Amino acid sequence: MSASVSATHAPAPASAPTAAELLDFVRRSAADPELIASLPLDPEGRTWVRLEGPGGSEAWLIGWPPGTGTGWHDHAESVGAFLTAAGILKENSLAARLPTDGWKTLELTEGVDRERELAAGKGRAFGQNHVHEVLNESTTEHAVSVHAYYPPLPRIRRYSRTGPVLRLESVERPEDWQ
């Protein structure tokens, strides 16, 4: 499901938005009860609505049914931010700089795993090549979040993980999402 909603919270910055500016945008957007209520929620799968992000960024309002998640992925060369508007999301991430290309399997060292619980009003910004997964672990409640990326997503790399082994499974490009 995809529709277009324009979030008019601030004028676009004169230059490319920083991760901090994206975080400010998602924070303001998540605090808009009318915008959050406009998202249709589906009991089976994630739903999303494209937003007008600052400075040409790509932004999304996303609904997460209980028990859903993204799987391990990164946003390639984009910086980004996301914030939980309703419910609770969990982010598992890697605190390690991974090579960007030329590998299929990596063995991660101990101590690189990070876990964050992001209740309503909590979020984070991240840099390029940030590997993470986002989950709604609730068995009964939807979660809603706002996400923004700049530059608009050039690709998403998807990974599988077994213990310390991270394996590149696929690379998606915008034309794959149309």
Which band of pLDDT confidence, cut at 50, 70 and 90, is reported for residue 7?
very low
Q: Does 62 fall in a domain?
A: yes
pLDDT, one tens digit per residue, over 23-41 is 999 999 999 999 999 999 9
**Residue scoring higher pLDDT (79 or 11):** 79
Over residues 79-83, mean pLDDT = 97
Task: State the residue for tokens 């984070």.
Answer: 124
Q: How far apart are CA 177 and CA 159, in angstroms?
A: 17
The token duo for 163 is 């213990």
Question: Would you say residue 122 has pLDDT above 70?
Answer: yes
Q: Does 11 fall in a domain?
A: no
pLDDT at 174: 84
Task: State the residue for tokens 């590998």.
Answer: 103
Which band of pLDDT confidence, cut at 50, 70 and 90, is reported for residue 14?
low
pLDDT at 176: 82
Q: Output the pTM of the full model.
A: 0.88
Question: Would you say residue 6 has pLDDT above 80?
Answer: no
Residue 4 phi, psi dihedral angles, 5° rounding: -115, 125
CB atoms within 10 A of CB 32: 16
**What CATH number has the domain bearing residue 85?**
2.60.120.10
Q: Does 52 fall in a domain?
A: yes
Question: Would you say residue 13 has pLDDT above 60?
Answer: no
Q: Does 44 fall in a domain?
A: yes
Q: Does 64 fall in a domain?
A: yes
Side chain identity at residue 51, one-letter code? L
Residues 6+ apart with CB under 8 A from 162: none
Q: Does 141 fall in a domain?
A: yes
Domain that holds residue 45: 19-173
Q: How far apart are CA 172 and CA 156, in angstroms?
A: 5
State the total domains in the chain: 1
Q: Does 106 fall in a domain?
A: yes
pLDDT, one tens digit per residue, over 87-119 is 999 999 999 888 877 889 999 999 999 999 999
Residue 124 phi, psi dihedral angles, 5° rounding: -160, 155
pLDDT at 109: 93
Question: Would you say residue 3 has pLDDT above 70?
Answer: no
Q: Does 47 fall in a domain?
A: yes
